[in-house]
Chains A and B, each alone.
Chain A
Amino acid sequence: MLVIRSAFIVFLVCASIRQGRALGPEVEFFENKIRPLLVAHCYECHSSETKRKGGLLLDSRSGWEVGGDNGPAVVPGDPEASLLFKAVSYLEPDLEMPPKKRLDPAQIADLRRWVAMGAPDPREGVVPVVPSGSQIDIAARKAAHWAWQPVRDPEIPHTSNTRWSRTESDRFVLKLLEEANLAPAESADPRILIRRLYLDLTGLPPTPEEVAGFVETFSEETYLRTVEALLGRPQFGERWAQHWLDLVRFAETRGHEQDFPIPEAWRYRDYVVRAVNADVPYDQFVKEHVAGDLMDPPRLDPHDRTNESIKGTGFWHLGEATHSPVDIREDECTRVANQIDVFSKAFLGVTLACARCHDHKFDAISTRDYYAMFGYLQSSNYQIADASDPERQQAVQDDLEMLRHAILPDLRRELAAAVPSEYSAPAEPVAVDNPLFPMTVLPGETDFETVRTSIQDQWREALHRNAEARNAEVVVRSIKRGELDYVDETRAWDPKRDVIVDYRTDSPDAFWITSGRRFGAGPAAPGEWLLGATSDKPIRRIVDEPVAASDRLSSRFTGLLRTPTFEVTGNTVWMRFQGKAKLFVAVDSHRVCQGPLHSGGLRKNLVGEGEGFHWASHDLRKYIGHRIHLEFSPEEAFVIQEIRFSGSKPIDPLRINPEIEALVASPEIRSVSGYGRALAQLVRRSLTSSPGTPAQWALADWAVQSVRVTPEAARVMNDYLERKGQIEKRLPDPVPVLALMDGSAENEPVHIRGNYRTTTQQPVPRAFFEVLGGNRIAPPDSKGSGRLSLAEQMVDPSNPLTARVYVNRIWHHLFGRGLVETVDNFGASGSAPSHPELLDHLASRFVRNGWSLKALVRELVCSSTYRASSFPDPIAEQIDPANRLFHRMPVRRLAAEVIRDSMLAVSGRLQPRSEGPSVMVHISEFMRSNRSPSGSGPLDGDGRRSLYVEERRNHLDPLLAAFDKPTPFTSIGRRNVSNSPAQPLIMLNNELVHLLARRWAHHLVSLPLTSDRERLELAYLSAFARRPEAWETELGLGFIGEQLAGAPASASAREQAWTDLAHMLFNVKEFLFIN
């Protein structure tokens, strides 16, 4: 049930007691000193007559009682606790009022006195209390706007003209034309059609042979066959991928000061190309973008068997990022705003980012929707994932598991056999919890009766000291008062608050978050033998209490371990671990840690060599109050057990192994050497008994650290290592991809007016848009982000946006204008559909056809609407001047990439290779500056299509930029088509254009043709898919002749003349436009 929220505006009723109170000296003070001051200095922004900045009104008593975004403004009687007093005192930088000029000290003193006397205030008036939550009426707005209504599958209209329409979509177009008394344009000439088809579907012009083949055999069947062939070409994916890349602000660097690279961005681009070519159903494609990392099983690339699904999530990370934000949280909010903006526009055609600061001005979207989405991102993190063949990885894992299982009994047996028959007293003193300790208590004493009590006394004493020391543990938290001014707050250590993760006790359901296979599927359980990597140290550790452990089967697996998100509440975090790993502290999703501010604070190498656990600390004082998580990427075998806040190195609990305790207490042990024998027996039993007890595992672990490996044990281990090596060879090489990773469930409160420092009390549960029923789904307490269910709601056929927005984009690309012209904005501020029924017809048909892009494109380009001539008809132009009814095809300027690619193709320079890392952008001397990278890509991009030219944010290709390739900062579904002088200047004077003209000319003059007439004909066929008319031939040949006149005839002069002609053919508008 949707709540009509406006009905819930609460009115605060003034207590009537205050009314009619006599005018005492206190009120007199208010009237004389305070009211004038408020009127003069505060009402401009805080009165019901003017504005209500920060939600605060100061023109009534209830105004300051209710207060603004930060709560009540005055605490009567307590100036220091009153925000109003703090503000006028300029005590907090974010709260300095009045903002332009500080009040006089005398005025501040008056205000202080007034608050201290209890803030007497006779002013009446009621202030509406703004409940947290949306104030807009979602249901009413939903009902009022077409785009929120369900997609209906309308009946195919009847038209009087029954011959023109080829497809159902044609009949919708024709219907409106007939209503406007317009006849559709004639079908275009085959030569026009073939050029139109090739440029639209592949972004490349047809070759002269293709033109000839098409025109000579022109028929309905030829047309359909050609469409089919073009849809099957890899160039189709390359052209249509670009449309998508515009929507996700694709770029390969992060822009800003240093323009750092976005690692593996090109793999995302190639993923899009392949998805288009494979005609991956659009609903699947959407799901992969939102939750590809969570899809099980993922979609695999049929060629290299890599996980394609996870690659889709890379789009979240294609935005800008700075390297050293002073306010790291604000920086995050800006980045997230961009992610939400792109997400909502690209998939849903909705401008959700508008709701960052306030409920949407026009649409049925509230700030709650915005922060509900924010939570999904806070529950997820950036990762470079390994997309290599998951099935093969699984097979290798299974085999390694079996091998390990098979070898363990032999290893247990051989290690047990290696245990000495009697332990002897150690030469050096050992710790009280060492099993050899009982043999050291009274050196020289052999009678065990004598030492028994002393051992037990020493144990008791040690346990007591240990407990005392542990109880003294504190946590220190610095409170920052100024940049160099900290106050340390110390409090007793509290396991509930201060343990971040303890894999011993915490439930893996809540705390186990990994990517890849390196840490396995959960903590290593007690009793598990972690095997070593060499035969002289076959056992790394026998687990007695649960730990997170990497490399349990192989060090060749990839992946990382992370903690849930937690708030930094102490200065120092301590980690109990063994082995080597890189620690990354993820604060506010900041990743570009290259600058002076955070690079030291967010990374650390954890090195804990040798046996047993180590404690390492990391200073987080700078990030107190932030919500963060820690990531551990093993450098070699790595084990971690506990992470906690502490003011000093934590003291491990002392535990005496119960088996040893029992042994010492046993009256059967009469001598120290008897103890040594009994201990040996106990150890052997511990090594061989399966499953065993925690005490046995601990003892076994102690024993294997010191056991001398026998040749037999080494042989067993070597055999294992060799077979393991064989199996590992089958592991695919890692394929690093840019991706999302699921974290722990986080919800975000509403940032009032977009300011993260003032938030609502209650976080907003993660959910899809309320207007689409989202608030009823995605429970906030589920493990992980819940993105998969978000994705499923997005592609649910009941969602009226996803399919409509997409089919409209495709229509826009083919017909030059969307049925909804504002392709990225289906909201109330966007334009209404010109053909609402056609839009719904296409959307429902699209879903019925399995969300197939190719089926949709096929349907549209086979229509009579698409095949219509673009030549304007004077009468039709008068009736439909903007061509809103599609009475003819528009004349369209080629997209930037198509212009460059066509020049490459026509000149013979096009390098047809698909996919792979980008070619560095060419940095001309003119572009080069203090901000440029060293080096430069080749002028012609090695002949690669524009799609494969590096998209470097701070050095965008000038030719592509001049022809409106968008700056990658937000979703652009509809490019500008501008007309700037930079375009002709580039086409006339740019080196690349000259180079390609020369190349083309060289090709033309070297062909074994009999005449220049034939040469010109070929040039025209290549460039315009037609032969020149007589006057054009005359003009062209005349130009060549003129160029050669008066000069000695040479091959180079001929090539120059043809270069000049070719250059102008690139500039002829017929080359730059599609008709």
Chain B
Amino acid sequence: MLRRTAQGFGAVALAALGRDSAYALGRSGGLTPAITHHRARARNVIMLYMDGGVSQVDSFDPKPRLDREHGQPFHAKMEATQFDNIGTTLKSHWKFQNYGQSGIPVSDLFPNIGRRADDLCVIRSMVADFSEHNQANFFLHTGFAMQGRPSMGAWVSYGLGSECRDLPGFVVLDGGLIPSGGIDNFGSGFLPATHQGTLFKSGKTPLANVQPLEKTAGLQERKLALLRRLDQGVLDRFGHVDALESSIANYEMAFRMQAAVPDLVDLGRETEATRKLYGFDHPFEQTRRYAWQCLLARRLVEKGVRFVELTCQRISGNDRWDAHGGLKKNHGENALAVDQPIAGLLTDLKARGLLDETLVIFAGEFGRTPFAQGSDGRDHNPYGFSVWMAGGGVKGGTVYGATDEYGYRTIENRVEVHDLHATMLHLLGMDHKRLTYRFDGRDMRLTDVHGRVVQEIVS
């Protein structure tokens, strides 16, 4: 039973914060840690966040009817759109092919991901409640449409702790595009700050304040040696109170992080073949950059970081995946940037036996309309869109749910954002109804009072 104290489940993690390190939960590191609610199918999550919203009808949800009715007024009943500039029915620019034994259709935007089709579980029936980026982003990340709630990565870190003594439990690999709503999408809300997403950027110093400013390592060590002795004096002077002792211990953790992070981002030891697999030699610059993010994600997962989220690359002339106009260039270039690196990540994880215990999620905050915005764009569409998951206990090679003949609305096996969260937590060994934190007089949850585990896609 998890609820050991009035503080709920969190007390377990909090108690651990008191001593030694903010992260270690004193577990052996088995796949099913002692404190999960049930057997875990995954121990880590890699969230491939597709900022701005990928068009489902151009990627994973083919709709021949759009070809037939291309250019005609849209025949189905429409909802209000964000930009209120509705054009005619718009067919996809991309052809679909069936891939793998499962024969899952994937458009020519993602030929490499297509070749991993048998690992994918494509959910075509996602719905989000919001047509606007920031609300939808907060909703996807925190289960609420407003700022200030804990991000799913923070919940996972809080729920499972970290298996890593020198890295945080929730890392965001910043590709250059911070989502609408800002870094609060990765915040810890009312959970302890320990669980907030730590932002890693590409480059020599990926993490804020991790690079010592001292001229030599020796100098910092001498300074820290002084500090240790002075701090011992404080314990004598103030008494051995928990808050002080854990604060002192925390410095040791920080010191280890300083050393671990440069080591982590040193990709020199990766083989040429691995680097190629991810696309380090790709002619498109953003592909090479996203390859760096994907490879780093694997290394973080290997280190035991619980939740790794990747944000998108900035590509000149495109505003995220948010193709209100110029769909062809926008989606073409964005897909080019992520297709090979993601496929490489899936291949690499599988080859290393990590895919079984790593849940990979590919999702934007909503999809796009099957009718045009203006002439060559698509507006936001939260009423039905596609996401996919791979590894970590989901059924590969499956398609779940359906939208109508236009790919506009979900008509079958509706999956809400809370359901996605519930399923993710379930795969991690946690019951979304029991992963709670006491705040405001309530036991708060990632799924609030909602959420259904989509058992049908659990392998």
Query: Contacts of A978 on B, CB cut-off 8 Å?
Result: 17, 192-194
Residue B244 CB within 8 A of the other chain: yes
The docked-state distance in angstroms from the alpha carbon of A960 to that of B78 is 46
Residue ID in chain B nearest A967 by CB atoms: B148
B133 within 8 A of A: yes
Does A953 interact with chain B (Cβ within 8 Å)? Answer: yes
Q: Are B227 and A969 in contact (CB under 8 A)?
A: no
Indicate if A496 sits at the interface (CB-CB under 8 A).
no
* Pair A93/B383 contact, Cβ less than 8 Å: yes
A338 at interface by CB-CB < 8 Å: yes
Which of A101, A345, A891, A962 sits near B241, CB closer than 8 Å?
A: A891
Cβ–Cβ contact A326 & B148, under 8 A? no
0/1 per residue, A651-665, Cβ < 8 Å to B?
A: 000000000000000
Beyond A924-B208, A986-B209, A1035-B230, whether A981 also contacts B132 by CB under 8 A is: no
Q: Contact check: which of A256, A320, A324 meets B82 at CB < 8 Å?
A: A324
B441 touches A257 (CB 8 A): no
Binary contact track B72-92/A, C-beta < 8 Å → 1, others 0: 011001111111111000000
Contacts of A1063 in B (CB 8 A): 223
Known: A484-B73, A930-B314. A1064 touches B411 (CB 8 A): no
Q: Tell me whether A1069 and B441 are in contact (CB under 8 A).
A: no
Per-position binary interface string of chain A over residues 1039-1070, scored 1 when its CB falls under 8 Å from any chain B CB and 0 otherwise: 10011000000000000000011011101111
**B residues less than 8 Å from A931 (CB atoms):** 178, 180, 182
Contact A980–B177 (Cβ < 8 Å): no
Query: Could you say which of A320, A485, A994 contacts B146, with CB atoms under 8 Å apart?
Result: A320
Residues in B with CB closer than 8 Å to A1029 are 233
A1042 CA to B255 CA, complexed, in Å: 22
| Minimum C-beta distance from A364 to chain B (A) | 13
Residue in A closest to B409 when the chains form the complex, CB atoms = A93
Asked whether B269 is an interface residue with its Cβ less than 8 Å from the other chain, the reply is no
Given known A-B contacts A870-B238, A891-B243, A1029-B233, A257 and B181 have beta carbons under 8 A apart: yes
A844 to B145, CA, bound (A): 41
A482–B78 alpha-carbon span in the complex (Å)? 5
Q: A255-B182, A872-B241, A989-B210 are in contact. Are A326 and B82 (CB under 8 A)?
A: yes
Q: In this complex, what residue of A is CB-closest to B73?
A: A484
Contact A929/B209 with A259-B182, A326-B81, A1068-B234 known, Cβ cut-off 8 Å: no
Contact with A along B429-455 (1 / 0, CB 8 A): 000000000001110000000000000
Residues on A with beta carbons closer than 8 Å to the beta carbon of B233: 1029, 1031-1032
Contact B22 A979 (CB under 8 A): yes
Q: Does the CB pair A256–B226 fall under 8 Å? A: no
What is the CB-to-nearest-CB distance from B202 to chain A, in angstroms, rounded to a whole number? 12
A994's partner among B180, B213, B241 (CB-CB below 8 A) is B213
CB-based contact B414/A99 at 8 Å:
yes
Give the residues from 256 to 310 in chain A that come closer than 8 angstroms, CB to CB, to chain B.
256-257, 259
A514 within 8 A of B: no
A988 at the B interface (CB under 8 A): yes
Q: Is the C-beta of B393 less than 8 angstroms from some C-beta in chain A?
A: no
Residues 214-250 of chain B, each 1 if its beta carbon lies under 8 Å from chain A, else 0: 1000011011001101110110011111011011101
Q: For the complex, is A946 an interface residue (Cβ under 8 Å from B)?
A: no
A1026 nearest in chain B by CB position: B237
Partner of B209, one of A90, A985, A1065: A985
Contact B182 A100 (CB under 8 A): no
Asked whether B227 lies within 8 Å of A1064 as measured between CB atoms, the reply is yes
A597 to B212, CA, bound (A): 48
Known: A597-B82, A1064-B223. A976 touches B213 (CB 8 A): no
How far, in whole Å, are A931 and B183 apart by their CA atoms in the complex? 10
Q: How large is the interface on B (under 10, 10 to 19, 20 to 34, 35 or more residues)?
A: 35 or more
Is the Cβ of A983 less than 8 Å from the Cβ of B250? yes
Q: Please, which residues of chain B bring their CB within 8 A of the CB of A829?
A: 441-442
Instruction: Tell me the nearest residue of chain A to B148, going by C-beta.
Output: A969
Min CB gap B23→A, angstroms = 8
> A354 to B233, alpha carbons, bound, how many Å?
48
A residues within 8 A CB of B411? 90, 101-102
CB of A486 within 8 Å of the partner chain: no
Chain A: which residue is nearest B198 at the CB level?
A982
Q: Say which residue of B77, B180, B227 sits within 8 Å of A1067 (CB atoms).
A: B227
Are B240 and A257 touching (Cβ within 8 A)? no
Complexed CA–CA distance, A277 and B32 (Å):
57
A760: Cβ under 8 A from any B Cβ: no
Asked whether any CB of chain A lies closer than 8 Å to the CB of B293, the reply is no
Cα A979 to Cα B441 with chains together (Å): 23
Interface centre among A322, A926, A979, A1061 (most CB of B within 10 A): A979
Checking A100, A102, A483, A1067 against B81 with a beta-carbon cut-off of 8 angstroms, the contacting residue is A483
The digit string for A80-121, where 1 denotes a CB below 8 A from any CB of B, is 000000000010010000011110000000000000000000
Partner of A100, one of B17, B177, B240, B414: B414
Residues of A within 8 A of B230 (CB): 1032, 1035, 1064-1065, 1068, 1070
Report yes or no: A985 in contact with B254, Cβ–Cβ below 8 A: yes
Q: Give min CB distance, B243 to chain A, whole Å.
A: 6
Judge whether B285 is part of the interface by a CB distance below 8 angstroms. no
Q: Which residues of A contact B61 (CB under 8 A)?
A: none
Pair B234/A929 contact, Cβ less than 8 Å: no
Which residues of chain B have C-beta atoms less than 8 A from A429's C-beta? none
* A579 interface contact, C-beta 8 A: no
- Nearest-neighbour CB distance to chain B for A604, whole angstroms, equals 18
- The verdict on A871 contacting chain B, using a C-beta distance below 8 Å, is yes
Judge if A756 is at the interface, Cβ distance under 8 Å. no
Contacts of B441 on A, CB cut-off 8 Å?
Answer: 351, 354, 362, 822, 825, 827-830
In this assembly, does A1073 line the interface, its C-beta being within 8 Å of a C-beta of chain B?
yes
- In Å, the complex CA distance between A929 and B413 comes to 38
Interchain CB contact under 8 A, A256 and B134: yes
Pick from A327, A954, A979, A1073: contact of B182, CB under 8 Å? A954
Residues of A within 8 A of B181 (CB): 255-257, 954
Indicate whether B36 reaches chain A with its CB closer than 8 angstroms: no
For B134, what are the chain A residues with a Cβ–Cβ distance below 8 Å?
255-257, 322
A1072 near B247 (CB under 8 angstroms)? yes
A888, closest chain B residue (CB):
B239
A958, B199: Cα distance in complex, Å: 12
Chain B neighbourhood of A980, CB < 8 A: 22, 192-194, 196, 250
Residues of B near A967 (CB, < 8 A) are: 147-148, 184, 187, 189
Smallest CB–CB gap between B380 and chain A, Å?
8
Which A residue sits closest to B319, measured CB to CB? A930
In the bound complex, do residue B247 and residue A1069 qualify as a contact, i.e. CB atoms below 8 Å apart? yes
Using Cβ atoms and an 8 Å threshold, which residues of chain A touch B176? 929-930
A969 and B147 form a contact (CB under 8 A): yes
On chain A, the residues within 8 Å of B77 by CB distance are 93, 481-483, 485
A984 in contact (CB, < 8 A): yes
Interface residues in chain A, defined as those with a beta carbon under 8 Å from any beta carbon in chain B = 90, 93, 99-102, 255-257, 259, 320, 322, 324-327, 334, 338, 345, 351, 354, 361-362, 481-485, 596-597, 822, 824-825, 827-830, 870-872, 891-893, 924, 926-927, 929-931, 953-955, 958, 961-962, 964, 967-970, 976-986, 988-991, 994, 1029, 1031-1032, 1035-1036, 1039, 1042-1043, 1060-1061, 1063-1065, 1067-1070, 1072-1073, 1075
- Since A870-B238, A978-B17, A1036-B226 are in contact, a sample of 10 more A-B pairs with Cβ atoms closer than 8 Å, ordered by chain A residue number, is A255-B147, A828-B441, A954-B184, A988-B212, A988-B220, A988-B254, A1067-B251, A1068-B230, A1069-B248, A1075-B238
A-B contact pairs, 29 of them (CB 8 A): A255-B147, A322-B134, A322-B135, A327-B80, A327-B131, A338-B146, A361-B442, A481-B77, A483-B79, A484-B86, A926-B208, A929-B174, A931-B178, A953-B182, A955-B182, A958-B208, A969-B147, A978-B17, A981-B257, A982-B198, A985-B207, A985-B209, A985-B210, A1060-B219, A1067-B251, A1068-B230, A1070-B238, A1072-B247, A1073-B244
Chain B interface residues (CB < 8 Å from chain A):
17, 22, 73-74, 77-86, 130-135, 145-148, 168, 174, 176-178, 180-184, 187, 189-190, 192-194, 196, 198-199, 201, 205, 207-214, 219-220, 222-223, 226-227, 229-231, 233-234, 237-241, 243-244, 246-248, 250-251, 253-255, 257-258, 314, 383, 409, 411-414, 440-442
